């Protein structure tokens, strides 16, 4: 009888622990999934930054003859300077495209009717050019 009483006393505790453990395992799985997703996103952003070379060349139309083109290079520092001159970037001009620079790029793109992707492609560079010479 004592044995049966002991089993009946312990059984709900063991059952409750199993349910609690199952809930914890689900939360851990959910958190691991979120971490993995964030790591993939971070890697994607790092790849985008590393693909942007220190000096980027693109072709922009010449002012006098629309059919002719000229090569224009913009360094990462020049991109930051143009964004700062345009009123979008408030960080240091250090040539590092970090979170502040990326946010400024996206805001600039949105306000200028460009594709908002945080990547300084030829259209974004062309739009930034007029802000590069402003002091």
Query: Exposed, middle or buried by CB within 10 Å (0-12, 13-18, 19+), for 23?
Result: exposed
pLDDT at 82: 94
pLDDT at 22: 72
Q: Which tokens belong to 128?
A: 């930034």
pLDDT at 31: 72
Contact 118, 106 (CB under 8 A): yes
How many angstroms separate the CA atoms of 36 and 96, rounded?
Answer: 26
Query: Exposed, middle or buried by CB within 10 Å (0-12, 13-18, 19+), for 72?
Result: middle
The answer as to CATH 1.10.101.10 being correct for domain 54-132 is yes
Which residues, in sequence order, are CB contacts of 70 under 8 Å at separation 6+? 59, 60, 62
How many angstroms separate the CA atoms of 45 and 117, rounded?
Answer: 11
Beta bridge partners of 74: 56
How many angstroms separate the CA atoms of 98 and 20, rounded?
Answer: 42
Per-residue pLDDT for the chain (135 aa), expressed as one digit of tens each? 666 566 666 556 655 666 667 777 777 777 777 777 777 777 667 666 655 544 444 444 444 444 434 446 789 999 999 999 999 999 999 999 999 999 999 999 999 999 999 988 889 999 999 898 765
pLDDT at 95: 92
pLDDT at 62: 46
């Amino acid at each position: 009888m004592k044995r049966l009483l002991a089993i009946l006393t312990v059984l709900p505790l063991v059952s409750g622990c199993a349910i609690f453990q199952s809930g914890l395992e689900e939360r851990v799985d959910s958190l691991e999934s979120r971490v993995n997703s964030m790591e993939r996103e971070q890697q994607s952003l790092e790849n985008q930054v590393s693909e942007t070379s220190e000096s980027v060349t693109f072709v922009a139309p010449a002012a006098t003859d629309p059919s002719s083109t000229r090569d224009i290079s913009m360094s990462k520092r020049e991109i930051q300077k143009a964004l700062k001159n345009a009123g979008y970037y408030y960080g240091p001009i250090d040539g590092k495209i970090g979170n502040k620079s990326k946010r400024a790029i996206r805001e600039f793109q949105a306000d200028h009717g460009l594709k908002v992707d945080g990547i300084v492609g030829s259209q974004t560079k062309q739009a930034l050019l007029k802000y590069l010479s402003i002091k």
